[in-house]
Structure 1
């Protein structure tokens, strides 16, 4: 045994890989470190995880600045090596000289030495209080890393955390939106799902998932007002996507400030979109604009 395992890849990792690669680019750019690595905790191992271990085990999914791919795909047991210690403690850990460090185990010395890595920093990716991955930054010389490097590495990890949260929220909304609407509050739940999906879609880096969200909220809107569902012709109105986003928030009773926060826009920008939408719809008030948008099949 080499002291580590290699994972087999599986479907559904493209978005994770994109987030990790982007974070490693940022980490190297902002810290000046020559080497960066990153990985998430995965459930699927080539061999089963040890009894009593936490959900999934860390795998080095992405590498940047390495001489070879020797480190890519390696599975890290919780508590083992620097990354495993970071997972176990849920906080950043660092060593000035990996080979000589006394406070980590040394199962991975051979592959670390093969890359010539000496000073290494590991930062956890934490989502909803659970460690979901680790980012590493490394030097090929035994030098301490200062506060500036730590701060930049933590910021890169936050990027991955945000990407994971957004994607998981999107998937949960998709599942909820596809459930059959039953009961007196069915249309209200449809409208809430439509608004949430529209607000979330622009935040996604994954183009396939974003397209899926857009298709779902388009389907919800097509079932819109009773006049549309009854087969009567809907007024032809063209609104910009952001104008519809704002109206979807307004339809749920959101103030301009609340809509701005939800959509990641400025309050004045929201006002501008709302005024523009009202003008195109021939509406004199926010609520008239919502009603007109529903009649036009733009909102459910």
Structure 2
């Protein structure tokens, strides 16, 4: 795998990390011998930085910068849809700006799938063979699905980043209600992603947000609630009914009741309000 370049903007580095997961998934699901890709950096002219590689035998592609519209990946970026060729050197459907590095690696049949989030190309996943063969529909379909899954995770991460950006703790009641709403949103977003690393990051962000509401550091052991118990309590703290909480979290109302009872027991609380107050006092909720 390539090495993350700290000189790139933070968002590009974050996207590169997501692409890294996508490359590994692409290699696993398609069985293609060579897979690679990278994130797109913004600016006047978008450019793709190839940083993630599996199965390559040379360094010709590592660090390659692909410009919008140029080559197979640049075409995928410009069209915002997958493109592929079965014999790269003789293909008349693409420009040949990158023939030299592609030739050094010996790639002939190549697929490029863009990662598109909110109509913006954020990266490109490539898969390749060293023979001039047509790629099977199953392989192309798996590659496209891998990109779609990655797009969903990036979209959720974007929403989480935006939610955190809106949450600047303030002493006014209105601002604290916004912080609490953001906290609940982060908890709910975490359950929408399949990527374990992203889900853990969202949960950790929600815990940091909750701890920020303490007037002084909490040194006492915090009650241990399961992620779902804390998800439920986050919406209960906003004044949501069981039915409303179930709607937010995609669960049945009876399931919400069960999680809430369990959380109240662990917090040694007899009422919903008492449970919320205890959770806030111990830094589990903002």
Scaled to the shorter chain, the TM-score interval is: 0.7 to 0.9
Cα distance in 2 for residues equivalent to 1:67 and 1:259: 52
| Partners of 1:197 and 1:217 within 8 A in 2 | no
Q: Which residue number in structure 1 is paired with residue 261 of structure 2?
A: 275
Structure exhibiting the larger radius of gyration computed from Cα positions:
1
Q: Residue 181 of structure 1: CA displacement? A: 2.4
Aligned-pair Cα RMSD in Å: 3.3
SS at match of 2:32: coil
SS at match of 1:24: helix
Q: Residue 241 of structure 1: CA displacement? A: 4.2
Q: Which moved more, 1:209-218 or 1:20-29?
A: 209-218
Cα distance in 2 for residues equivalent to 1:11 and 1:80: 23
Q: Which residue number in structure 2 is paired with residue 226 of structure 1?
A: none
Q: Residue 298 of structure 1: CA displacement? A: 3.7
Alignment of 1:1-300 (within 5 A): 9-10=7-8, 12=10, 15-43=14-42, 54=45, 56-177=46-167, 179-181=168-170, 183=172, 185-200=174-189, 205=197, 211=204, 213-220=206-213, 222-223=214-215, 238-242=223-227, 243-254=229-240, 256=242, 259=245, 270-283=256-269, 286-287=272-273, 289-294=275-280, 298-300=284-286
TM-score, normalization by structure 1: 0.77
Unaligned runs of 5+ in 1: 1-6, 44-48, 224-228
| Partners of 2:87 and 2:132 within 8 A in 1 | yes
Q: Deviations over 1:6-53 (max 9, x none)?
A: x9843636543332222112112211110111111114xxxxx7xxx5
| Partners of 1:198 and 1:214 within 8 A in 2 | no
| Partners of 2:15 and 2:123 within 8 A in 1 | no
SS at match of 2:212: helix
- Alpha-carbon distance change, 215 to 291 in structure 1, aligned in 2, over 3 angstroms: closer
Q: Deviations over 1:89-111 (max 9, x none)?
A: 11110101001111100011111
SS at match of 1:87: helix
Q: How many corresponding residue pairs? A: 274
SS at match of 1:104: coil
TM-score, normalization by structure 2: 0.81
Unaligned runs of 5+ in 2: none
Cα distance in 2 for residues equivalent to 1:93 and 1:173: 35
Cα distance in 2 for residues equivalent to 1:155 and 1:261: 27
Cα distance in 2 for residues equivalent to 1:106 and 1:214: 50
Cα distance in 1 for residues equivalent to 2:55 and 2:254: 44
